[in-house]
Amino acid sequence: MSLEELYQEIILDHYRSPRGRGRLPRPTARVHHHNPLCGDEILLDVEVSDGKVVGIAFEGQGCSISQASASMMTEAVRGKTVEEAADLAEEVRLVMHGKPADEERLGEVAALEGVRRFPVRVKCALLAWMALLDALGVKPGEKP
């Protein structure tokens, strides 16, 4: 299996069996983001306590890339500090704009790298991450 096929498998797996789907009982932030180019929607709940993302869940609809990305994101940032989560979102943003993905750092999220070849889908892949930054009160490209 090529790396590209492996990445496609990971994305499909997250799309078919999304992790982190649902709503939180006590979110500290709830944001709704959509990507009108593709019709993707994400409703993201985040619970931050003592500077840590202790809870994160999403509901949404749209293409496989947008929903798989949201699923991967919930797994990648749960338990991280706000700063670590914002750093990861920034890293994903840079990767989607051409930076080589560091698989050690990104884990399964590195699978999104392949989406770069389809510029129209980059917004799909980034939707959940931009929603995350919004929920954390961080502007893209800035530090928390």
Residues found near Zn ion in the complex (CB under 5 A): 38, 40, 62-63, 66, 124
Give all strands (DSSP E) within 8-80, no chain letters. Answer: 29-35, 40-49, 52-61
CB of 35 to Zn ion, least distance (A): 6
Nearer to Zn ion among residue 97 and residue 105 (C-beta) = 97
Nearer to Zn ion among residue 42 and residue 124 (C-beta) = 124
CB of 124 to Zn ion, least distance (A): 3
Q: Which residues contact 138 (CB under 8 A, 6 or more apart)?
A: 82, 86, 89, 144
Coil, strand or helix: which one is 111? helix
Nearer to Zn ion among residue 67 and residue 74 (C-beta) = 67
